[in-house]
Structure formats: C-alpha cells, structure tokens
Structure 1
C-alpha cells in the first residue's frame, strides 16, 4: 500500500511554521528537506531549527555534501527516517550504520543519472531508497516516469527495501507511480501551492489506492 507524504521545503522559520500549521490537521507522514547551499544551490532551513507535531512520522531528506557534519543534530531529532544522497563523497555505509545504531531508519536518494548497481553495497544496507526526479532544492519538478525502471533494479539488490519518489508527483501521475511499486510519494507543490491542501491530500490518497479496472 502506498502513502502520500507532504513535503516541507522552506528557507525561513516563518515559512516552516506556516507549512507545519497547514499540514498539521491531516498529515501523517511528512517529508522535510534540509540543504547546505552546497550540494544544492538552495539554502534551506537546517536541522537545528526543525520541530514537528509528536504524532507525525517524519522523514528528513538531507541534501548536504557532508552528512557527517549534520548527523548528530539529525539523530537528536529522532525522525522516522534520514535520507542522504548516494552522490556524496563520504563513507555511506558508515553513515547507514550510525543512523541505524540510533534506532532510526536509513535511506539513500538517487539522482536521475545515478545507476543503482553502482551502490549495490549501500542499497543492501538501507531501509529506504528514494528515486529523485525533481530539481534539487526546488518544488514543482517534473516526474520522469522513465525513472520507474530503477525500481526493478533496486529490488533485485534488496527485495525488502521501501521505495520513495521525490519530484513532480501530482493527481495525473500518482496512480502510475503507485502501480510502479513506489511506496512513499513525496508531494511538494501539488499540496503546498493550493488553497485546500487537505482536499488534495485526500484525493491523492484515494488515487494511489484505487483498484485498476481491466
């Protein structure tokens, strides 16, 4: 069963608070982006400023070049999942082990050009692999459905791993993504940029869990 996870991508504390307030009435699992202004051009809110309602299940997407410089702060927040990028230059296996040792799930994100076989050792270790189809640090990207082919390759390496998708999810493609074995659809502007985010969240949830008709 797939799930919709609204995304919070903000540059200021005021914007962050507004996002939390808008999502609090209905969101269950939420995807929060942080960045260092180096791995991605955007300089988003950092881990030291994050907070969320205790009932939320939170995944933190760390778009940072050196996760080791952020890991202690992220672990202290006790999220459900911490996702770092496959393209970093640090020891990815060591990061996974450190995250899991704290009782937190570990995930890895793959940019469009990253081939799963090049990090098979890491995919075997993580709980979650996120296919990144958007633009780093920006909402409103396009879902490149050709990236769905990566899921077969990822599952061949780790059949039990949870699959996430980030980038361009909307009402038109959500069902296709869910049918393509995406477990967590991280949704940015399709929810954040509308007048009634709860309504769109509910529509998306129904869409990804509908039964196909032959």
Structure 2
C-alpha cells in the first residue's frame, strides 16, 4: 500500500492558519494541524478554540502541550480523526487514550528524536499511531530528515504490526521514497509544499514518489 502525503498546518494566528488552509485545501484530503502551548515547544501556535476545518477533511491534530490532558473535553468537541500528543508530556495517558477512544477518536503519540521507541512498549495497545519526529519542534520547514530514526519504525512495526506510523520533519522529493520504504505510512510535509512556487505540483511529486 502506498504511503500517504499529509500537508501540515503550523500557524501562530488565524490569518496565517487560513492562508495555509487555502494553499492545500483543493488537493489534500488529510491534514496534520500543529498546536503548541509555547511551554513544551518554543512557539505558541494558534489557540485550540480558533481551529476549524471543512467537514470533508480528515484531520490529525498534533498537540505539542506540556499537559494535553487538561484539554481533552475540547478535543472531544472538535472531534478530529486523530489526536497526537507527545510521549514526553505530562498527564495520565491511559485515561486520556480511553476517553478519546470512547468518543471514536484515534490516539497517537509523537516521539522526539531523543526519545527511544521502547518508551511506548507498555502503552502500545492503546496507541493507534506513532509519529516519528525529526523536525524543529514548533516550526514549519528548515528541518533535516534524520533517516537513522527509521530504526524506530522497524522496532514499532515489530511491536504492533497494525500500527500506523507517521513521520514529521524534512520530507522532500529526494527522501520521501526512502522514508516510506523504511516503514512509514504517513509523511507529514510542511515546507516542501507551503514554500513551493506550485504547492499542488509539489504535493503531486511526493505522492508519486511514495506510490
């Protein structure tokens, strides 16, 4: 099965958020939206209560908060396809995961480059998606894809074959195929698409590369 190319939206305020949506909405049906509290990561991103998206789009919400469990009621109301929190964040993960699953929302965990995949072994039964993070947290573009992190994908696939594995950071037309071949199902892409002269063509190039 071909990997999925998922454009990211990383904005500090509503105007930039809308501009990024308008750049991708006509060609992408699954989006990765970043939110950050300015504590876990260095840049406070658009507020949770300012988020919106069309009803025909699948949304993966990447929550870079120190205490994401404090916002679980809002996640339930917004009802994205998937909520991804950081493995390094605070809070009761089991209760968080159980609550989201009860409301039909998938649960994901993101691993910073320095966090070993083995850290998720005890919770893997409650996890639908693991995001391997190789980026500059809180920023879009300018990252380098560290392909040595694909060892995490190999370990995770052995731990739970049905797991969806994502990648965030440095994806471009030169490495997308290698990342997909390394066991990644979803390639989240920011700068390569948003900074392109023709975002539609950039997206199509990546789709072809991982097909």
Query: Shorter-chain TM-score category?
Result: over 0.9
Counterpart secondary structure, 1:124: helix
Tell me how many residue pairs correspond in the alignment. Answer: 209
- Cα distance in 2 for residues equivalent to 1:156 and 1:124: 13
The alpha-carbon deviation at position 78 of structure 1 amounts to: 1.1
1:194-205 matches, cutoff 5 A = 194-205=196-207
Show structure 1 runs of 5+ residues with no match.
210-214
Alignment-derived partner of residue 85 in structure 2:
84
What is the rounded CA distance, in whole Å, between the counterparts of 1:162 and 1:51 in structure 2?
24
Unaligned runs of 5+ in 2: none
Distance 2:102 2:158 in 1: 26
| Alignment of structure 1 residues 50-199 onto 2, 5 Å | 50-140=51-141, 141-199=143-201
Distance in 2 of aligned mates of 1:162 and 1:80: 13
State the alpha-carbon separation in 1 of the partners of residues 42 and 63 from structure 2.
Answer: 13
* Contact map agreement 2:68 2:90 (CA 8 A) in 1: no
Secondary structure in structure 2 of the residue aligned to 1:25: coil
**Structure 1 counterpart SS, 2:166:** strand
Residue 124 (structure 1) shift: 2.4
Note the alpha carbon deviations across 1:57-85, whole angstroms, 9 max, x for none: 10000000001122211221111100001
How far the C-alpha of 1:45 sits from its partner, in A, is 0.4
CA RMSD of aligned residues (A): 0.9
| Deviation, structure 1 residue 115 | 1.0
Report the Cα distance in structure 1 between the residues aligned to 2:5 and 2:39, rounded to whole angstroms: 28
SS at match of 2:95: helix
* Comparing 115-124 and 59-68, the one that deviates more: 115-124
Alignment TM-score, normalising by the size of structure 1: 0.95
Q: Distance in 2 between matches of 1:119 and 1:174?
A: 25
Structure 2 counterpart of 1:212: none
Give the distance between the partners of 1:35 and 1:89, measured in 2 at CA: 14
Moved over 2 A (4+): none
